[in-house]
Amino acid sequence: MRAGLLKETLIFEALTKEKTPSGAISKEYKEVFRCRAYRKKQSIVTGDENAKEQFIGQMAVMLVRKYPQISYNYRVKWAECTWEIKMIEPRDNELTLTLKKLNT
């Protein structure tokens, strides 16, 4: 994977618990890691909208360099949306991340 292909920026967030001054515990996602990524194009059937097009619109496949910080318990912010990591496929010095859009 060439460095020039990595045009997208992924922001990984982890769920953290913080204690407020009043003593209540609040859970929120905080940024823990950023990296550059390449979005793999997925082929869709042209013509009328069908179930496959709707499914592909909710999924994204990204290629990133292999970082030990990346795991399933993170959320990803990309393209002004929040994504959940569904699958991590390691290969040589890169990871293929399959992301699913969250309804937030």
Convert the pLDDT of each residue in 38-95 to its tens digit: 999 876 555 555 555 556 678 999 999 999 999 999 999 998 999 999 999 999 999 9
pLDDT top residue among 11 and 103: 11
pTM over 0.85: no
Nearest of 83, 89, 73 to residue 8 by alpha carbon: 83
Convert the pLDDT of each residue in 16-44 to its tens digit: 999 989 999 999 999 999 999 999 987 65
Nearest of 96, 86, 77, 98 to residue 13 by alpha carbon: 77
pLDDT of residue 42: 73
Q: Which domains does the chain have, with CATH numbers?
A: 3-101 (2.40.10.270)
User: Cα–Cα distance between 72 and 39 in angstroms, integer?
Assistant: 19
